[in-house]
Chain A
Amino acid sequence: MTAPVRLAVHIGRDVPDGLNAVLSALPPGVQPVAASEREALPEGVVAHLYCSDVRPRRPVAPYAVWWMAGEDAAPAAGAGVPVLADAGHGRPDDLQVSLRAWPEHARPVLPFTRAGLRRVRELPARLVGESRSDGVSWGVPGEQPAVAARDTWPTLAALASAVVATGEDLWTALAWAAPAVTDAASARLLGLTPGEDVLVDDDPAVRTRLAAGLADDELRAAGLARRGWQAACCRRPAAVAAELCRRLGVRPPAHSTVSGLTAAMDELGTPPHSLVRRRARAATAGLPGAVTSGWRPDREEHP
């Protein structure tokens, strides 16, 4: 039987908001175990995760530090020591965790594809969507925008050349890889880098102008869309857990139950009902386990 690979987790009185979600999302075959300096370590521990309020003077390497929200001083991240934090509390290079729900059905739609979707729907070539506290609007830059129902926001997030949004609506926009403009507080809360992941300004009129500029600049819009989407993806607990393992050199045991074509397609973001999943299944129908070695009992298999 394969020995377990364990991550020792050292927690003090306070538990970070995102800790449970990240530990629950560790790759199959990697087990979190509670640990303290006063007790012997369980067998199979290959790395440590310390909350910053209980980090010893000489941590056992390899290790990561979870920067607690109440502590002002950021951990001095030594060479190669990953730092985790709740989103909005970390620095740009930290692994920041967001517990916001990922919008159902969201897919990254980059500017070239969204321009094609507008074309086949006979929508304007340049279209900006804007979400404000008093509602949602959309229109061609420079023209009077049309008011829309609030529940149309995901559609606008998927189709618009650029969007203006804050708070939850920004998160939705990033999940659809919309080139986005927001305010400083929203960018900070999601741990986004202004100018890289989103454009930022606190003046609503300026935000509208910035979005209009993005609608005319496909190259810049594509870069923002990709980086904003990847930044949001990176905040999801499963992505943080995977990156934490990668940086700590924690590898799941060989012959993990999650391998094979299903896992490969999952990692690439393949939608459940996509054609390629059916083709992979058909191609391996006579090879038991080729696809189903990645089958997970909690998920529907896709015929």
Chain B
Amino acid sequence: MDIVVCGAQKPFVRGGAEQHQENLVAALEAAGHRVDLVRLPVAWEKGRLFDSPLAWRMVPIDADLVIATNFPSYFVQHPNKVVWLLHQHRGAYDGFEAGASWSDFDWDDVSLEEQRLMTEWDIAALSEAQKVFSNSGVVSRRLARFNGLDSTPLAHPPPLHDVLHPGGFGDYVLSVQRQEANKRPQLLVEAMTRVAAPTRAVMAGRGELLEQLRGQVAGAGLSGRVELPGFVADDELVELYAGALAVVYVPEDEDYGYTTLQAFYAGKPVICAADSGAVLDWVEDGVTGLVCDGTPDGLAAAVRRLAEDPGLAQRLGAAGRERVAGLSWADVVARLTAP
């Protein structure tokens, strides 16, 4: 088949959604399809909210199948449209509800009318699709609660899944993420002030909070015990996963989160927070990881527990590895392209 994968991108920003779209293209090509990836820019602020959806509405796509991914690419019109929803415009929905700093919706009539219209447009565009999948239970629940729409969660393997491998259980916990507010990296830094040496933390990844975090580490006297190396190359990252005691991932209401799955492929337990969203689709407290209360004290207690009992870390990590054993891109492709 000739398949067009549609995705939105904020210029100069690259994250999980862009990786996801490119991996999907590769998997479709591996299955013998001819595939192109079409992206249009998106702006998130309220005043320009509807511009990009409208642009997608007018984009002519000639293909046998269109697979739309993130907001607002699913506004594309095509008789054979399948949606694999990574996220909607979160600022108009859960971010608005939570009063998140990254949502510019306020409790006033203008915001509510924009939000209402966004809801109506989303229902119209998503109802046109032959099938609607989501990338996680969290995204499906949001779609059901805000738009009254049904969807089927469809999980996929993360990047590096084919090279990640188990190893020893070292003296450090690992965090792999962009250092940004919604990932709450400062929680781990604060938690480490409550964890005794020799347990260390390695926090891989760049982001707008990186320098601020480095300052926080120095200020807390944690230099040497908390490393913030910034960008880490893939081969080094694989070995960091392999040697970790556990992986810490405590984002706020994550849509999917590759870190959790990568940790499981490496046989490591994941410490997350009770409000970490789709991470909880995978992390079951005491089974595949530990779920803390999202406070520095709670996170520190979870780290200490695994540091004091590496056997527990090993058991939880093994269960996590078993949990992801069934994931495959071939299955994803089969379900997305099924007639």
Which residues from chain B contact A79 at a C-beta distance below 8 Å?
Answer: none
Report Cα–Cα, A117/B125, bound state, in Å: 24
Residues of chain B whose beta carbon lies under 8 Å from any beta carbon of chain A: 47-48, 50-51, 53-54, 57-58, 93, 97, 107-109, 112, 114-117, 119-121, 123-125, 127, 141, 144-150
Which residues from chain B contact A265 at a C-beta distance below 8 Å?
Answer: 54
B300 to chain A minimum Cβ distance, whole angstroms, is 35
Contact B107 A110 (CB under 8 A): no
Contact A264 B107 (CB under 8 A): no
With A279-B51, A280-B54 already in contact, the answer to whether A227 and B116 are too (CB < 8 A) is: no
Q: Which B residue sits closest to A219, measured CB to CB?
A: B145
Which residues from chain A contact B93 at a C-beta distance below 8 Å?
Answer: 112
CB of A274 within 8 A of chain B? yes
Which residues from chain B contact A267 at a C-beta distance below 8 Å?
Answer: 124
Contact B124 A222 (CB under 8 A): no
Contact A109 B116 (CB under 8 A): yes
A210 to chain B minimum Cβ distance, whole angstroms, is 17
Report Cα–Cα, A224/B149, bound state, in Å: 10
At the interface, is chain B mostly helix, strand, loop or mixed? helix
Q: Which B residue sits closest to A224, measured CB to CB?
A: B148
Contact B148 A110 (CB under 8 A): yes
Which residues from chain B contact A283 at a C-beta distance below 8 Å?
Answer: 51
A66 to chain B minimum Cβ distance, whole angstroms, is 25
**Given A218-B145, A268-B120, A279-B51, 14 other A-B residues pairs in contact with their CB atoms under 8 A:** A108-B120, A113-B115, A116-B115, A119-B107, A219-B144, A223-B150, A224-B148, A226-B147, A261-B54, A265-B54, A268-B53, A275-B114, A276-B54, A276-B117
Report Cα–Cα, A204/B114, bound state, in Å: 36
Report Cα–Cα, A227/B123, bound state, in Å: 10
Q: Which A residue sits closest to B56, measured CB to CB?
A: A264
Contact B121 A223 (CB under 8 A): no
Taking CB atoms and an 8 Å cut-off, the chain A residues in 279-299 that contact chain B are 279-280, 283
B107 to chain A minimum Cβ distance, whole angstroms, is 5
B227 to chain A minimum Cβ distance, whole angstroms, is 42
From B54, B112, B144, A222 is in contact (CB under 8 Å) with: B144
Contact A222 B116 (CB under 8 A): no
A232 to chain B minimum Cβ distance, whole angstroms, is 13
CB of A271 within 8 A of chain B? yes
B62 to chain A minimum Cβ distance, whole angstroms, is 13
CB of A190 within 8 A of chain B? no
Q: Which A residue sits closest to B119, measured CB to CB?
A: A110
Report Cα–Cα, A280/B57, bound state, in Å: 12
Contact B117 A223 (CB under 8 A): no
CB of A80 within 8 A of chain B? no
CB of A107 within 8 A of chain B? yes
Which residues from chain B contact A224 at a C-beta distance below 8 Å?
Answer: 148
Closest 4 CB pairs of A and B: A226-B148, A276-B50, A222-B148, A264-B57
Q: Which A residue sits closest to B105, measured CB to CB?
A: A116
